[in-house]
Structure 1
Amino acid sequence: MIRRFTLLAALAVCLLSCGPGSKQTTTTSDSKKIFRLNLTGGLTSLDPAFADQRTNIWATTQLYNGLFSFSEDLHVHPELAENYDISEDGLTYTFKIKENVYFHDDQAFKNGRGRELVSDDFVYTFKRLMDPRTASKGSWIFADKVKRSPDGKLADDWVARVDDYKFKITLDRRFPAFLQILAMPFTFVIPKEAVEKYGKDFRKHPIGTGPFMLKTWNEKERLILVKNPKYWNRDVKNVALPYLDAVEVSFIEDKNQAFLSFEKKNLDFLTSISETSRNKILNKDGSIKDEFSSQFVVEKKPYMITEYVGFLLEGTDEKANPMLNKKVRQALSYAINRKNLISFIRNGLGTPGNHGFVPDAISSFDSTQIDGYKINIKRAQELLKEAGYPQGKGFPEITLNTYTTDKEIGEFLQKQWDENLGIKVKIVTNQFATHKDMVDNAKVSFFRGSWIGDYPDAENFLAMFYSKNFSPAGPNKTHFKDETYDKLFEEAHETDNTFTRYSDYHKMDQIIMDNSPVIVLYYDEVLNLKQKNVTGLKTNTMNTLVLEKVDIKSGNDSKGGDSAATGEKKTAKAE
């Protein structure tokens, strides 16, 4: 879909003159390649220290690089790391970074020109992530892993420069998945000058080494990224990357409206498909309809995400908050028909969450090892009676907090608990960013949640229940605490034996099922749509969006292809 239009003057000037570098795919303003997508959930920051939700992750991934990244098969491969060495005791990691990599041009630098990346940038980035003043929700990735002094504080030299292109990280204990940690967006490298110049406003003045640079961001409306002409990476044929000239992101929260825009070819890519739209794409058994696949490319695959309902386990007064009673939580879990939820609400998209918190997309998943929850109304009613609420009598109305785009699932659960247990549930919805903030800061006690794997190891999911990872600094949003669980979690880090580690993972997952700090609803599948002339867009079970090698074939112009990036009046949001 090569757009043939006149770009905004400012965009054209930026594309053609924002600095020396690689040859561009096109150099005239009437044939720019603009890739358009829509993101829901609210973009809150372009600072990688706050890349804790999909929208933030997808945006920062285009602007920054890290030491490593994940391939389609979820193997870690070097990105800015030239090579690395791990000491025999597994505690010291030494990294040699690539030379001749430059930050985006910006007024934060002398003469407005981006300087070369050096090892001090990684030292600064990682220490800033751990600085309480940053208040990053990603500090947990290092907090329980890196070297500490005898008084328990972070050692000054846990990350340290060796020379201009080499630095080292020292761990406090072994952690087999540490390279996977270093592929997470939280670890994308940033320059100190940018934070010093923009302060808290760095969130909307991103400066990285990535394939794209920020042009404009009108919050909740439009994000435009433009090609980085000094980008360091090339394809296998030694052609400069990226192929695209710009990326235009809209923020249409109404999923049906976004789908309509995609059908009209005002978007090149779409994810987060509503129930109404899924009816047009999928048959009731989850297979793809021929009529739709003949017009568009449909990708359906397991998604490394667990969808759940969580309980905030703070306090001891079960009369004031009956959900502190484990039997109540178990009863609520047994009362849900997960198979019907997937069939009726999601057109067969997903797998019932019957076998633990760790999803089936993770290699250690084994349904025979975890005794989870399936629909069992009789057992649910027995547990509720044992908790002191026979047939729901005397049970107070409870409030389930969720987000706007998830209302259908909330209403399904509301009906299940009313019909099967006699429990009345009030549904409160907010925009996703608001909902997430309330959950992270323990402002709600009963909430919908999703955990998208940051890296493909069960440890990442099980970290949600480690007592040292309480939110908002960590991912333990339920504030679950169990000594046996913590001991297993720590022991799993000490072994390189895969079978031993998997055994520990299964024991931890069973503890979660037995105590029910969460109700696992389903393991998700991803449904991505793209136009047929889009090439090079590859995803994995983490649903990572990397646009570095995406291209748009010529000779198939878009219908209604004008967009906000062009200065034309039609926008996807107005459809």
Structure 2
Amino acid sequence: MKRLVRLATLAACLFATGTVALAQPAAAAPKTLRYSFPIAETGFDPVPISDLYSLTVVAGIFEAPLEFAFLARPVRMRPNTAAAMPEVSADFRTFTFRIKPGIYFAADPAFKGKRRELVAADYVYSVKRHYDPRGKAGRLYRLESAKILGLSELRARALKERKPFDYDAPVEGLRTLDRYTFQVKLAEPSPRFLYVFADGSLTGAVAREVVEFYGDRIGEHPVGTGPFKLGAWKRSSSIVLERNPGYREVLYDEEAPAGDERLQAVVREFKGRRLPLVDRVQISIIEEPQPRWLSFLNEEQDVAENVPAEFANVAFPNNELAPNLAKRGILMLRYPRSDVAYSYFAMENPVVGGYEPHKVALRRAIALAVDVEREIRLVRGGQAVPAQSIVGPESWGFDAAYKSEMGDYDPARAKALLDMHGYVDRDGDGWREQPDGSPLLLEYSTQPDQQSRKLTELWKKNMDAIGIRIVFKAAKWPEQLKASRAGKLMMWGVGWSAEQPDGDTFLAVGYGPNKGQSNHARFDMQAFNALYEKQAALPDGPERQAAMDAAKKLMIAYMPYKVHVHRIWTDLAQPWVSGYSRNIFVREFWKYVDIDREALARRGS
């Protein structure tokens, strides 16, 4: 009997144990933030990339010493991997950074099973990589214009001698002082130089052994200290970022702007929570606007970043969220971008380039014939404002009251300019020839997406109206970018977004030494270069503003760029996305938002 009781008791215990085991909840699915890019990435090595979308990805992987506070208005910098804000000399020529001990790179085979701590030498190495000619740096101008002592000379020596760049050569302007401290010295004052070190996509720390381990494939293996690491990648199709398990303890500690009750509630809810708040970021490349919009409506995307212009009147008529979307609890966020959309003229091209009066007249006539208001209304869905200069809003040096020829639409004046400078129809076929009688044919590069097609249709109408023939050369974005940097395109229309809240970012596209980098037009004028250098060395104030205004006027007069608009972005977020906000100088917003699992479970109910 006792044996039977013991067996019964054992059976009961096993059953109870089994019941408890069955009741254990399954591991929660990772919190995944899903959204899309309209243009394919080009790679994930911070040195050669210059496109917005690749830069956005690497900004979540690599960390700069400083960062912009996510919710702060006006924008301000704060320490990131730095222990405190750097020491800056009174003459803005010496900058000393101290890095926090105990920060580690994500685990990677390059480290051979050892934890790899971030040290000051990593930042010195990462900056030097932009000067290595083999790296084909896409944004070297942002560093080189600051004139770091000795680095440009080291680059020039490598080019002259055709030898590998010497990373171990001592350089006066960039050196480690101890394990966690490095110092930068400049040849000239640079009051805003610290902005360079608040951009993880530019000065984010890269470990030397990772670069040497992967060699030419380094763009496929980004390894940083940031909150995310590359989990999966299907080129031009999808990118998956995963939480970096080795990311240090960083807590949500934002301050909401005064008067913003929604964000104040977010701050109260998130305060003290460990970042990142989501486990994964899943990015799809969806180039055509309609499938990108439908994927959001069908709840396949959590965020619709910059709703395609074609659907603006459906999603937010009169810039108010549509009632059907509001009923679903969708959040609408509308904000001006610090950017410009422009078309450039290749200044070294024999047809549209040159500085002679008749060449200048041709570019100015073409610019006057571009109907920007129609572009905004029919192509951009009202989500832009006409631009009057290259300098974009939300940046120092922008003047909302400024008015110039850049914003004019005047086909009659365009025709008069062409007639005056000898661009006339000599053979009676309805098309103008060049002053020497040779054919006048514009070739405009573009992409095979719907908005680009609409823009080219408008370009065709505008040029037909003044008797200029134009043809279009379509190719994928990465291909056009490569050709443009090599100086192989006659004209191309693109956008330029600021990486810092300062107008220098925009003037840099006209600075001669930046040819092949930011300066796709290859504009190179001594007077402009001198003004650019002057404003860069001045502290913010009336004298600097005057230099910037004079530089803007030269770009308008010589027209290497026809600046069309400053864009306005409207984002939509599903109701289960918590804490959504944007800081236009913080690309990697992902770590600050959360996915509400309960709200997600209620969808469709």
**TM more than 0.5:** yes
Partners of 1:286 and 1:348 within 8 A in 2 = no
| Alignment partner, residue 95 of structure 2 | 93
Matches of 1:240 and 1:332, distance apart in 2: 54
Which residues in structure 2 correspond to 1:335-374 (within 5 Å)?
335-353=369-387, 355-369=388-402, 371-373=404-406, 374=408
Counterpart of 1:526 (choices 534, 557, 569) is 569
Residues 525-573 of structure 1, C-alpha deviations (whole Å, 9 max, x = no match):
1122211211233212347232112101122236999xxxxxxxxxxxx
1:207 aligns with 2:218: no
Instruction: Name which of structure 1's ranges 66-75 and 220-229 shifts more when overlaid on structure 2.
Output: 66-75
Q: 1:560 to 1:294 in 2, by over 3 A?
A: closer
Counterpart amino acid of residue 441 in structure 2: E
Aligned residues, how many? 530
Q: Secondary structure of 1:63's match?
A: coil
Q: Measure the CA separation in 1 of the matches of 2:533 and 2:432.
A: 42
Query: Which residue, 543, 558, 572 being the options, matches 1:515?
Result: 558
CA distance in 2, matches of 1:181, 1:242: 24
CA contact (8 A) 1:118 1:164 kept: yes
Which residue does 1:401 correspond to in 2?
Answer: 445
Classify 1:364/1:443 alpha carbon distance in 2 versus 1 (closer, same or farther; 3 Å): same
Q: 1:186 is matched with which residue?
A: 202
The reply to whether residue 479 of structure 1 matches residue 522 of structure 2 is: yes
Higher relative contact order, structure no. (Cα contacts within 8 Å, ≥ 6 residues apart): 1
Of 486, 495, 499, the match for 2:538? 495
Contact kept in structure 2, 1:36 and 1:266, CA below 8 Å: yes
The Cα shift of 1:443 comes to 0.9
Q: 1:120, 1:161 within 8 Å by CA — same for their partners in 2?
A: yes
Q: In the alignment, which residue of structure 2 is the partner of 1:59?
A: 57
Task: After superposing the two structures, state which structure 1 stretch, 338-347 or 325-334, moved more.
Answer: 338-347
What is the one-letter code of the residue matched to 2:224?
A: G
Q: Percent identity?
A: 23
Q: Report the Cα offset of residue 362 of structure 1.
A: 2.1
Is the Cα contact below 8 Å between 2:339 and 2:393 reproduced in 1? no
Q: Summarize the Cα distance change of 1:114–1:140 in structure 2 as closer, same or farther, 3 Å threshold.
A: farther
Amino acid at match of 1:191: A
Cα distance in 2, alignment partners of residues 447 and 150 from structure 1: 32
Structure 2 partner of 1:441: 486
C-alpha distance after superposition, 1:488-523 (max 9, x if no partner): 111112222422111111110111000000111111
Contact in 2 for aligned 1:51/1:60 (Cα 8 Å)? no
Q: Could you tell me which residue of structure 2 aligns to residue 7 of structure 1?
A: none
Structure 1, 178-187 or 543-552: larger mean CA deviation: 543-552
* Structure 1 residues 129-168: aligned runs within 5 Å: 129-149=130-150, 152-153=153-154, 156-168=171-183
Change beyond 3 A, Cα 1:215–1:329: same
Deviates more, 1:233-242 or 1:451-460: 233-242
Distance verdict in 2 for CA 1:386–1:253, change over 3 Å = same
2:31 counterpart residue number = 33
Q: Which residue of 1 aligns with 2:243?
A: 227
- Tell me which structure has the larger Cα radius of gyration: 2
8 Å CA contact 1:329, 1:516 repeated in 2? yes
Relative to structure 1, the CA distance from residue 498 to residue 322 in structure 2 (aligned partners, 3 Å threshold; closer, same or farther) is closer
Aligned in 2, Cα 1:459/1:244: closer, same or farther, shift over 3 Å?
same
d(CA) in 2 for partners of 1:45 and 1:277?
30
Provide, for residues 210-261 of structure 1, a one-character-per-residue CA deviation record: whole Å limited to 9, x for no partner.
1111221121222222111221222244432212111111112222111111
Residue pair 2:175, 2:184 contacting (<8 A) in 1 also: yes
Contact 1:401 1:444 in 2 (8 A): yes
Q: Retained in 1: the 8 A contact 2:352–2:363?
A: no
- The worse-fitting range, judged by mean Cα deviation, of 27-36 and 486-495 is 27-36
1:24-58 per-position Cα deviation (integer Å, ceiling 9, x unaligned)? xxx95333211111112111111122341111111
Cα distance between partner residues in 1 of 2:232 and 2:225: 18
Deviates more, 1:294-303 or 1:304-313: 294-303
CA contact (8 A) 1:211 1:242 kept: yes
Report what 1:3 is aligned to.
Answer: none
Unaligned ranges ≥5, structure 1: 1-26, 562-575
What secondary structure, in the 3-state scheme, does the structure 1 residue paired with 2:214 have?
helix
Q: Please say if residues 67 and 78 of structure 1, whose CA atoms lie closer than 8 Å, have aligned partners that are also in contact.
A: yes
Gaps of 5+ in 2: 1-24, 156-169, 254-270, 426-430, 434-438
Cα gap change, 1:239/1:343 in structure 2, threshold over 3 Å: closer, same or farther? same
Per the TM alignment, residue 396 of structure 1 is displaced from its structure 2 partner at its CA by 2.3
The correspondence of residues 314-463 of structure 1 with structure 2, limited to 5 A, is: 314=348, 325-353=359-387, 355-369=388-402, 371-373=404-406, 374-390=408-424, 392-394=431-433, 396-405=440-449, 406-419=452-465, 421-463=466-508
CA 1:315–1:240: 2 relative to 1, 3 Å:
closer
Comparing 365-374 with 340-349, greater Cα deviation is found at 365-374
2:389 aligns to what SS in structure 1?
coil
Deviations 1:287-327 (A, max 9, x none): 44333344322221110110011011115677999998110
**Equivalent pair of 2:227/2:276 in contact (CA under 8 Å):** yes
User: Partner amino acid for 2:521?
Assistant: T
Which moves more between the two structures, 436-445 or 371-380? 371-380
Q: Give the partner amino acid of 1:114.
A: R
Aligned to 2:233: 217
| Conservation of the 8 A alpha-carbon contact between 1:255 and 1:272 | no
Measured after TM superposition, the shift of residue 272 of structure 1 is 4.3
Whether the 8 Å contact between 1:39 and 1:250 is mirrored in structure 2 is: yes
> For residues 150 and 359 of structure 1, do their structure 2 counterparts lie closer, same or farther at Cα, with a shift above 3 Å needed?
closer
Match in the other structure for 2:123: 122
1:266–1:559 contact (8 Å) kept in structure 2 = no
Equivalent-residue separation in structure 2 for 1:337 and 1:316 (angstroms):
26
* Match for residue 48 of structure 2 among 32, 37, 50: 50
1:96-107 equivalences under 5 Å are 96-107=98-109
> How has the CA–CA distance of structure 1 residues 150 and 479 changed in structure 2, closer, same or farther, with 3 Å as cutoff?
closer
Go from structure 1 to structure 2 and tell me whether the alpha carbon gap of 1:153 and 1:362 turns closer, same or farther (over 3 Å shift). same
Which amino acid in structure 2 is aligned with residue 203 of structure 1? G
TM normalised by structure 1 equals 0.87
Q: Corresponding residue for 1:76?
A: 77
Question: TM-score normalized by structure 2?
Answer: 0.83
1:469 paired residue number: 514
Paired letter, 1:404: P
Give the residue type in structure 2 aligned to 1:176: P
CA distance in 1, matches of 2:603, 2:477: 30
**Distance 1:331-1:288 versus aligned 2 partners, 3 A rule:** farther
* Secondary structure of 2:494 counterpart: strand
Q: 1:175 — aligned with what?
A: 190
Is contact 2:241-2:280 (8 Å) kept? yes
